[in-house]
Structure 1
Amino acid sequence: MKTTSIFSQVLCHLIAMTLTLRQGVHPLPVPTDIPICTASETAQYSLTFTGKWTQAAFPKQYPVYRPPAQWSNLIGVTHSSDYHMWQRNDFASNGVREFAEKGEAWTVMKEVEAAGERIQSVYGILSAPAAVGGTGQMNTQFEVFARHSYLSFIVRIVPSPDWFVGVDSVDLCDGDHWKDNVSLHLYPYDAGTDSGFTFSSPNFETMPQDRITQITASFPSHPANSFYYPRLKHLPPIAKVTLTKIKKTNQIISLLLEPTQSNQLPTGNEIEDTLINTPLDCEASVWSPWGLCKGKCGESGVQHRTRYILMHPANNGAVCPPLEEERKCFPDNCL
């Protein structure tokens, strides 16, 4: 695909530039109020991103075609504590904006490059191919160093105005050793650059630009929003990420076996996969004006008004109300 080719060219360019940047740079001071990683060796991790974006969990306006629900490429970086790819309640950079709105990676890659010494080298860049379908999965591997023990990444929700999921500065180091497993639920974020309310909204630039905010069941508080579920206290997770430290045997790196009933051990940081059925209540339009009064002169008549269904119920949500109503009336202008 053309998009994959462009993405590969961007990554190759960034590799060359970051190798150049490593020469002649000086370390930046490390903040004293942040835990310092003292692990003596580097660590390799496998990253598994799994979509949980199902029609049962997110029935409202679920995109089934042109395009159907899916995930963009994953773009990430391992970094030191003084760098942020993106941050909640902060403004999205131009690179994050272009990626969240269009899935274009060039500018955000250039921003990573411009971070200079804060990015450890080519090993600090990670990517994974796009996942087909809302429950698609993507995998990649990466390396971390004691001075660059943080992981950040971003994945665009497709289709959407400027919505994404990701993690910001997850520390994989715990004092003098690396964490074995980290599992995180992921929830949707709004980049604050497009004002569309639905998955398929046309481009509508936010002026002035807003801050990155987490989308919840009640925020934005607008019935048209694709994630608006007023009956829920919290949205179910739309994706999850699992980070697994790769074991080294005689300096040969080997991936851990996939979890099965025979080899799966409780780690205290595992995420249970349960079937989620989010109730979606029926939504009806406002009533039309009352129609003409039908009846004989001098006698009471009947007039009607109607409304129509905006959203059909799902997963045992509230059923639709009556769509037609009548009342007694007396004909006007009776001759």
Structure 2
Amino acid sequence: MVHGVRETVLGTLGKATILRIPPDLQNLTLRFGAAVWKRDTEDPQRKLILLKYLGGKYTNYMQERTRFHMLDFSLEILNTSRQDRQLYEYIVSKGPEEKVWQIQLEVYEPVSDPTIRILGWVLANGTCNITLNCTAERGDNISYSWGSGDNSTSGLCSHNSSLLHLTYPLQNSSISCSCTISNPVSTQIIAFNSSKCSYKQMGSDGLRMEDVLLIVVVPIAAVMLIGVLMAIRLAKPIASQENSPLTEDSTVHTIYSQVQRVQNTPAQPHVLQGYPPFLQSPNKEPMTVYASVMMPMA
């Protein structure tokens, strides 16, 4: 078996990837009419046969995932996934020997749209000091770089990192820096433009002064309002007690009194004036009267 040179192909996650063979292998395939596409598996002792070509006809064992192009004998992976990151082989049989072309497929997720955030800014000695952060939410093997198309600001913007510490005098009417986010299969660029040192920077979604007011002032006002409401609620029971008709001086007192019936002659019983009939008893024993009296309020 004669092994060919291994090449590396970069595939984009979720997109089609075409594995091509060089012209000399295409000519050998037309001449001998026998070839096969194979792929490595997780098991180093096992290979997966993807396609067989023989005498102008072919059998595709992965029809749902691959497409064979007879014009150049290339193999197209329709929807590239991370599992497709393997070593592929195209083998041409020429008599008693074979010639092999190896392709290492690397799969990358492309970078998403980047954003620039202002992490902080300071005014000092007539200069503006801003810290910018350029990021992307998705992407494999991302690299960051800052630059500028303007020669006057190229030195200020040059940096190879997601962070950029930018310092410029306030006399400058405009500062423009571009952040480039890239990986082996994609590139995204976003610009930062500044006309003054403030949170209102074009191309960033950092904190604005309105955001600061919402974050700081609104919570303080809410706490003060809650405190006032609690004070009013606590004051209501005290006021109710002060206005209640029953105070310490309005305690109900019970008076005990004994009444002695005056003895009269049996022929003419005497009526006790001012007492109810049940006290008009012929019994001579004294009787106890219970009366409840409400003391007047002071």
Tell me which interval the TM-score lies in, with the shorter structure as reference length. under 0.3
Higher relative contact order (CA 8 A, sep 6+): 1
Identify, as 1 or 2, the structure richer in strand: 2
Q: TM-score, normalised by structure 1?
A: 0.25
Greater percentage in helix: 2
